[in-house]
Amino acid sequence: MSALFSPIELRGLKLKNRIMVSPMCQYSADDGVATDWHFTHINSLSLSGASVFCIEATHVEAIGRITPGCLGLYSDACEATLKQIIASVRKHSTAAVAMQLAHAGRKGSSARPWDGGQLLAEGHGGWQTVAPSAVPHKEGEAAPHALDRAGMVRIRDAFVACTKRAMRLGIDAIELHGAHGYLMHQFLSPISNRRTDEYGGSLENRMRFPLELFDAVRAAFPHDRPVGMRVSSTDWVEGGWDLPQTIEFVRELKTRGIDWVDASSGGVSPLQKIPLGPGYQVPFAEAIKRETGVTTIAVGLITEAKLAEEIVASGKADMVALARAMLYDPRWGWHAAAELGGVVDAPPQYWRSQPSTQKALFGKTTFGAR
């Protein structure tokens, strides 16, 4: 039996395989509201063969968006449009639907990647960003406002409000975005967190606000539905956040009932030096799993079925999450199942699509036509 196509449970969520479609920003929303692009994108990849589709970074307040085109869940309009999309997914797909809740902090107010990705000035499509400290992400950029306690409470309450909206939408799982240089990661990393109060300085203090956010979301979401977190395991910058600190953070999350950790890296500094290659972040998931016992998801240039199988079969991680590979091949899970001897769910309209050599792929007998 393929390890990749074996079942796994995350709290009360039962999954038929170990594949997740990673949350991928589409930069195509209108004031946080999903558009026809999201309808097409989400419905398509919910049929990929993965057991979980994770909706892209969904921001908890307007100034928490990365770009003006980023998705949000901070208004009734945001919620209403996503409700329609998720209802469509449920008609045709058996995949669980997760959502990544996020706040960009000082990396907000940016142009879309295809428009250059640089910081947008106020009055030119941008807004005043916030962060743990008044330290810009990049030299020469306008500084964010350092959050005071009232601002932190506002953001915590925004995460809770979005969690409740996600619950009303029937979201099966929540992933908090604690990676890639966004707000939670900014609190964790000494590169971006220069505070001198109880939220800065020591590792214990730098972890405090992300842990408060996790506790608030976990308390607001139904007990039988899982909550995980994506973390940056290292900043790839000397003197920054690193794997030993990540392990300590995950240990704290474990005591609070975290259901998985999605082990990514980087994003807090333009000075990072990342050695890219297939599966280059897998050792982070492996170390976190070994040292904490928490369920881990491996990410990072995992494109081939055999590599994904090896990661899970060897115990380096419990699941894999794919992004660009899914965009390139929206039926990646089907093709992986055919290669590894697994079975996927597919809508009956597509049962005839499998080659004659793969009749067991969908667990169905190919039907005929008169």
Q: How far is CA 317 from the centre of its chain?
A: 16
The number of CA neighbours under 13 Å toward the Cβ of 159 is: 32
Q: Is 182 labeled as catalytic in the residue annotation?
A: yes
* Active-site choice (182, 280, 328, 350): 182
Strands 145-146 and 52-59: unpaired
Is residue 179 helix, strand or coil? coil
Torsional sign, CA 300, 305, 308, 311: negative
The number of CA neighbours under 13 Å toward the Cβ of 321 is: 25
DSSP secondary structure string for all residues of 83-149: HHHHHHHHHH---EEEEEEE--GGG-SB--GGGT-PBPPBTTTB---EESSS--SSTTSPPPEEP-H
**What is the C-alpha separation between 56 and 342, in angstroms, rounded?**
27
Residue written as tokens 């597509």? Answer: 350
Region of residue 142 (left: phi > 0; alpha: psi -120 to 50; beta: else): beta
Q: How far apart are the two ends of the chain, measured CA to CA in Å? A: 36
Say which DSSP state 294 is in: -
Q: How far is CA 205 from the centre of its chain?
A: 24
Say which DSSP state 302 is in: -
Contacts of 180 by beta carbon, 8 Å cutoff, 6+ apart: 230, 232, 264, 266, 267, 268
Residues in the chain: 370
Ramachandran angles phi, psi of 64, nearest 5° = -90, 0
Active-site residues, by number, are: 182
